[in-house]
């Protein structure tokens, strides 16, 4: 792996791929050409899937055949580009809307995970701080009060 994905060892996000495809199509690339160019830039499994789909489309495969066997995470890309390929609709709007939807889902998942983390941190916090509070705050007061009443 030599691209951006290879440097970090992670795949390029699907929302980012959608944005790159939108830019490539806006620059005048055909759907197969955009898939090939963005796939080459993305590298990794998703990049290879985009290049495979673009190559198959260029060879005359049907839409389903072109996307068969690609990374399942690329399904939103296939759904967004299908009207453009089959009906000649400009792909920009569908790609933009799909990317925004994926980003909103990712943000909601992150907020949900942050909420669960807060709940999980309460128990260790209580286990560590409650005994310290009792030993440093309450025990000296109880010894002081107990000592004064016994005299």
Q: What digits encode the pLDDT tens for the residues 44-97?
A: 999 999 999 999 999 999 999 999 999 999 999 999 999 999 999 999 999 999
pLDDT beyond 60 at 34: yes
Q: The pTM is what?
A: 0.73
pLDDT beyond 50 at 5: no
pLDDT of residue 9: 62
Is residue 97 within 8 A of residue 21, CB to CB? The reply is no
Q: What digits encode the pLDDT tens for the residues 98-145?
A: 999 999 999 999 999 999 998 888 888 888 888 888 888 888 888 888
- The string of DSSP letters for 106-149 reads HHHHHHHHHHHHHHHHHHHHHHHHHHHHIIIIIHHHHHHHHHHH
Cα atoms found within 13 Å of the Cα of residue 3, Cβ hemisphere only: 16
Of residues 124 and 9, more confidently modeled? 124
Of residues 8 and 148, more confidently modeled? 148
């Amino acid at each position: 792996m030599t691209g951006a994905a290879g440097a970090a060892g992670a795949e390029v996000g699907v929302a980012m791929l959608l944005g790159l495809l939108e830019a490539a199509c806006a620059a005048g690339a055909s759907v197969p050409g955009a898939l090939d160019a963005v796939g080459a830039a993305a590298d990794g499994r998703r990049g290879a899937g985009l290049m495979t789909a673009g190559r198959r489309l260029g060879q005359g495969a049907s839409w389903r055949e072109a996307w068969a066997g690609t990374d399942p995470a690329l399904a939103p890309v296939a759904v967004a580009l299908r009207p453009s390929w089959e009906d000649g609709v400009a792909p920009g709007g569908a790609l933009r809307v799909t990317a925004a939807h994926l980003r909103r889902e990712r943000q909601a998942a992150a907020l949900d995970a942050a909420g669960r983390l807060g709940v999980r941190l309460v128990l260790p916090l209580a286990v560590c701080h409650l005994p310290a509070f009792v030993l440093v705050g309450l025990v000296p007061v109880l010894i002081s009060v107990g000592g004064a009443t016994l005299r």
